[in-house]
Chains A and B, each alone.
Chain A
Amino acid sequence: EVQLVESGGGLVQPGGSLRLSCAASRFTFSSYWMSWVRQAPGKGLEWVANIKQDGSEKSYVDSVKGRFTISRDNAKNSLYLQMNSLRAEDTAVYYCARGHSAPDYWGQGTLVTVSS
């Protein structure tokens, strides 16, 4: 079955940076759009960003534009999310997910906590 494993989460101070990674396996990674979706503690889901198969198209939710960058390395079957200028409101579990907008497979998530 499809496997998505996130890593890179942790505690970071406001204004800091963090890079999340997602290792994909058991499917042809280069054939799929990929997305990041987040969930603040005890809250609902928020789509964050997506990236086309070849990386030529990327989209972001307004609240992270200019601060977050999504990227991928198809040779390594990996998805990334570079997060800069982090704010308290970015605290959430970040899920890597397969698909453009209605993901059909999700990883287990990695927790990002922005706090001083």
Chain B
Amino acid sequence: EIVLTQSPGTLSLSPGERATLSCRASQSITSKFFAWYQQRPGQAPRLLIYDTSTRVTGIPDRFSGSGSGTDFTLTISRLEPEDFAVYYCQHYGTSPPFTFGPGTKVDIK
């Protein structure tokens, strides 16, 4: 089973700054099946990116995903006030388990 590790645990930034969130897999992922979710306090998770780099319809283009092998990245080019939240990465595929990372909290500096 692939284990996902996210870093940093907390990222303290100011609005307008660039955020780079990392997710590392315990073994190389040969497929493109990698996703990122945003969860604001008291809300359900929201899918942002799937297939490593495809943005969900309606997600602003300041969000971008990249990566391959064991290292995957979510980049938020310029933080807006509504972007301060917890972000989860996920490896998925044709058969379970569909593992989530522990999350990175982006909070206001």
Interface residues of A (CB under 8 A from B): 37, 44-47, 50, 59-62, 95, 100-109
Give bound CA distance, A45 to B96, whole Å. Answer: 14
Is the C-beta of B63 less than 8 angstroms from some C-beta in chain A?
no
Task: Say whether, besides A44-B88, A45-B88, A59 and B44 are in contact (CB < 8 Å).
Answer: no
Task: Say whether, besides A44-B101, A45-B37, A45-B88, A102 and B47 are in contact (CB < 8 Å).
Answer: yes
Question: Is the pair A107, B96 in contact by a Cβ cutoff of 8 Å?
Answer: no
Question: Is the pair B97, A44 in contact by a Cβ cutoff of 8 Å?
Answer: no
Interface residues of B (CB under 8 A from A): 33, 35, 37, 43-47, 50, 56, 88, 90, 92-93, 95-103
The contact of B92 among A46, A62, A101, A106, by CB within 8 Å, is A101
Main secondary structure of the interface of B (DSSP, over half): loop
The contact of A104 among B47, B96, B99, B101, by CB within 8 Å, is B47
Question: What residue of chain A has the Cβ atom nearest to residue B37's Cβ?
Answer: A45
Task: Say whether, besides A61-B97, A101-B98, A102-B92, A45 and B45 are in contact (CB < 8 Å).
Answer: yes
Give bound CA distance, A47 to B35, whole Å. Answer: 13
- Shortest beta-carbon distance, B45 to chain A, in Å? 6
Give bound CA distance, A106 to B45, whole Å. Answer: 7
Question: Is the pair B46, A106 in contact by a Cβ cutoff of 8 Å?
Answer: yes
- Shortest beta-carbon distance, A1 to chain B, in Å? 10
- Shortest beta-carbon distance, B86 to chain A, in Å? 9
Contacts of B103 in A (CB 8 A): 44-45
Give bound CA distance, A106 to B56, whole Å. Answer: 14
Question: Is the pair B100, A102 in contact by a Cβ cutoff of 8 Å?
Answer: no
Contacts of A37 in B (CB 8 A): 45
Question: Is the pair B98, A47 in contact by a Cβ cutoff of 8 Å?
Answer: yes
- Shortest beta-carbon distance, A110 to chain B, in Å? 11
Give bound CA distance, A33 to B44, whole Å. Answer: 19
Q: Which of A45, A46, A61, A95 has the most CB of B within 10 A?
A: A45
Closest 5 CB pairs of A and B: A101-B92, A106-B44, A102-B35, A47-B98, A45-B100
Contacts of B88 in A (CB 8 A): 44-45
Give bound CA distance, A107 to B45, whole Å. Answer: 9
